[in-house]
Amino acid sequence: MAGAEEKGVAVGRIVVGVDGSQHSLGALEWACREAELRGDSLELVSAWSLPAVSSEAASAEVVEALQGAAKEAGEAGRQLAQRVAPGVPLTVRSYRGQAARVLVERARGADLLVVGSRGMGDFKALLLGSVSQECSHHSPVPVVIVRRGDSAPATPPAAPPE
């Protein structure tokens, strides 16, 4: 049964997109708390890609810088997750590819995909970022899009007093 604990081992998996933005860190906080409630593990995913116009002319330094930025975002996510939910099993991965496509692919077989409402491509006029929008249309699993400041998941209602 997905999301249940069997002998203290997480059997469900929540995939979280992290890019270092405040929106993605808010989504990660939400996912940490949700993973604790469900007994699930977390998979933090960052992605990097070269702009189409420069992909052929990109130097090794540019590629290394993009890879490094994605790994830094993942490491910042790891540190936050370990503070917020220290008992939740955690993996951190970085992939080359367009962020939404990478997240949708990594979500296959997961229980939930969690993303921030906007990421590093912060167009002020957009209420919903292109990555979160694409994930919501193409994900094979339910998607939670966390707005900045909405980092606490809904908790089960308290039991009535006896």
pLDDT at 7: 44
Please give the pLDDT value at position 63: 83
pLDDT digits (tens), the chain, 162 positions:
344 444 456 679 999 999 988 889 999 999 999 999 999 999 999 999 887 655 556 678 888 888 998 999 999 999 999 999 999 999 999 999 999 999 999 999 999 999 998 755 444 434 446 888 999 999 999 999 998 654 444 444 444 455
Residue 98 has a pLDDT of: 92
The three-state (H, E, C) secondary structure of the chain, written as one string: CCCCEECCEECCEEEEECCCCHHHHHHHHHHHHHHHHHCCEEEEEEEECCCHHHCCCCCHHHHHHHHHHHHHHHHHHHHHHHHHCCCCCEEEEEEECCHHHHHHHHHCCCCEEEEECCCCCCCCCCCCCHHHHHHHHHCCCCEEEECCCCCCCCCCCCCCCC
Domains of the chain: 5-49+61-146 (3.40.50.620)
pLDDT reported for residue 123: 42
pTM of the model: 0.79
What is the predicted pLDDT for the residue at 149?
57
pLDDT at residue 10 in the model: 62
What integer pLDDT is reported at residue 26 of this predicted model?
93
